[in-house]
A and B are shown apart, each in its own frame.
Chain A
Amino acid sequence: MATEELMESKNKLRAPVSQKPLKIEKPTDLTTIGGTVSVEINEKKVVVPLGTTILEACKQNGISIPTLCHHEDLCVAGVCRICVVEIEGMRTLQASCAFPITSPIKIKTSTPMVRKARRHIIDLMLSEHYGECYSCFRNGKCELQALAKEYGVDNLTFGHIDKPKYEIDNSSFSVVRDMNKCVLCKRCVRTCIDLQEVGVLEAIDRGSKTHISTFMNKPLADVICINCGQCINRCPTSALRANDPSDRIWAAIDDPKKHVVIQTAPSPRAAIGEEFGLPAGTSMTREMNTALRRIGFDKVFDTNFTADLTIIEEGTELITRLYKALVKKQDVALPQFTSCSPGWVKFLEHYYPEYIENLSTAKSPQQMFGALIKTFYSEKNGIDPADIISVAVMPCSAKKFECNRPEMHASGFKDVDFGLTTRELARMIKEAGINLPEMPKSDFDSPFGEASGAGLIFGATGGVMEAAIRSVVEFVLGKKTEDIFANANIIPLRGFEGIKYMEIPIGDHVGPVPAILKHLIQDWNWLKGATLKVAVAHGTANAKKIMDDIKTGGKFSECHFIEFMACPGGCLGGGGQPIPTTPEIRQKRAQAIYSEDESLEIRKSHDNPHVRRIYEEFLTEGPSGQLSHKLLHTHYVKRGSYIA
């Protein structure tokens, strides 16, 4: 059977819900679930809503309980047993993360029995945990190490494995798996299956042989991994990490012949401070610029610039699709899907290849940047593109895969040489002896150094859509965005709701066609009375919900434009971001991005003077022109979901 056919039938039948145990939801409305219950924790009476877990109840009352398999983003597992507590009248200890309080129990969180059990559990994990902390890249940031320190487990009572059991899987451009470090917490499994609905990793074998692996133990590169790296973000140890290119970047920096440029995406700057002990949500944009120069990058550019360019190209593409569909009555793939998240793109290529035409052909900002550096920039500055090393600091592990896609050679060279994660950059900065928070502030380099707030908010879920609407509204209605949305903030598209939906009625008044689109369209009359329907999804499990709805001709099939981000929270929650990433931390990073947006003078992509300039000087046929198609657009591969 042909792979594609196989794929299609597979998609028809996929079950809508994960079959894993349900997540225990935090009760929000007390009256609906029957009120509260009074319990004793360490002899102190406290009142909690019925169904609260012991762990949550303790947290609310300032009692800390160690955890390992527990993660706020994931359903309960209760497998590591580190969080056990004593309950009066029960023979065995109970895992506090998995025990919902439904009766007035008496809990003790630190008894001799509990402490001994926790020490034993840590000791057992250490006995199977290959390698030494000092030679581990998670040294100092490892949850197992922290627990061992906290509980004084320092003499390897039950021995220590002296040979690795598993080969390290280096096959993927994005994710490296070293199961010798795995503690079987199954966070990656729950992330991959429940949170992302990708399904790469599961527990294999039984008993002492249990380990986490892929389908038929195949290398990661050969199974359906979308490279989102969410598993890395939730791994408590170094069993999962990103494929780190920093040594090769150092080599380029140290090579006097190489001109090394770096572009920085919007999300790393909102999070990198966390790696230096700053509270989440501290923006480090201009300090980071200085640090990058001190490391030795020749030029420091802002990816937001090509985010603006993406809005123009992708927005033009959308308008063109709508025009073809509504006026020329052509068969055009709608809704248009965003294509800036490489994890999402690969997800679609595998699971929904029949919708490949719906993906915007516009490249992601990273790849647009890459193509321009080795063409426009090298021409202007008289640098041989062969001597340029183009690095992209991204919140993302999938960007490493994206820059290695064979399509991404528009300049005649590899457009982006290396994708670097926020974490890896932080380590490079530290290795260079730089304390980021102490850096003086400096600006980006010209010509790709000025960007709008619209480009910046790409980092948060809903940001691409908000950026697009800010421009489209002005293009079509001829009015200021601010006149429709207070402060140009499009609130319905913000926040962490898994799926967001919005309608924008065009009405009877349309504006003149702006100069930048005149080569494509004469007027907007054809849009009169129409309603623009858009949606936003983040996390591929939510993307799947929308896609399945579209397949059955549901509400989302009537949308015109849908933003999809592979990672929960969008790029700010990306797989390359500092660990940990929790709902609270994502919230703070988003705040940092939105408040920086509000502080900027230019907040719409089409207002960016450098964007205008590039269409005047280089992409002279305008958006969707021949050169822009060559450099700024791409095509996709119908991969299907059969694992060969």
Chain B
Amino acid sequence: MARNSVPAGPAKKKNINNVAYLFIAPFIIVFLIFSVYPVLRTLYLSFTSYPGYGEPQWVGLANYNRVINDKFFWEALWNTIKIWSVNIVVQLGVAFLLTIVFSDIKYRIRGLSVFRAVFYLPNLIAAASIAFLFKTLLDWRFGTLNQILAQLGVDNPIPWLTSPDIAPFSVAMINAWMWFGNSFIILMAGVQGIPKDYFEAAAIDGANRWKVFGKITIPMLRPILIYVSITSLIGGLQMFDIPFLIAQGTDMTAILRGPLQTVVMYMYDFGFRTFQVGYAGSIAYALFLIILAAAVIQFKIMNKED
């Protein structure tokens, strides 16, 4: 009845549209101020010399030229890639393994929702708490892990978080632990979205578990895998909190260097320690371009196999 009572006509349609604008206005305003404006402002600043106050001085492409020739930037990028590579292999590997186990019709593991919550939990803990937790667990002399290793006969305690060679791997493992639950949930959702007919047909045809996994699960999960790996790449190359917090209080905090120096930490040094905001902006955009290029390449490679 109500619908019938609304008179049709262009004038009324306009009113409906206007009300809708009002509803979306708060989001649009907040989005423009807190997302679009900072992005555009950073782009502008990346072409300037700006110490954080006064009027920015236009320097054209000088900051980008400096990024290209800055060996410490590339070192930081290489550090980031190393940490991310180990992280993504472990993170997706564990997530995949758990997906296989939990999606297997034969195992029929109960309490999926409980496991899902437990696996996802590390993702909900503040990075500062996680850094503190692992600094305690992985302390070179009195950490739990080294204590266990000592019981097993390892004489020399391993400097998990203070050795320049080992610390990046420790950070990668911590990140993997934080994010494998997230990947698991997404992969499980993907598996549950695959029509059961495929699996039933495969079972009737006598396909074994690995064949089902390789010929049905993986191909059907490809869009999900692309999504997970690209979002992980984007997040991974922006890594900051865990390496930053782990490096605090060690000899690895020296400006511009150290095995835990990631690109975003490098950008932070320029933005907030030496107040070269323009250069920090160009590092941000250089990282954006690198991530964009890497994501496009990754997308092409993963799609090509289709």
Q: Do A and B come from one complex?
A: no
Partner-B contacts on A (CB < 8 A): none
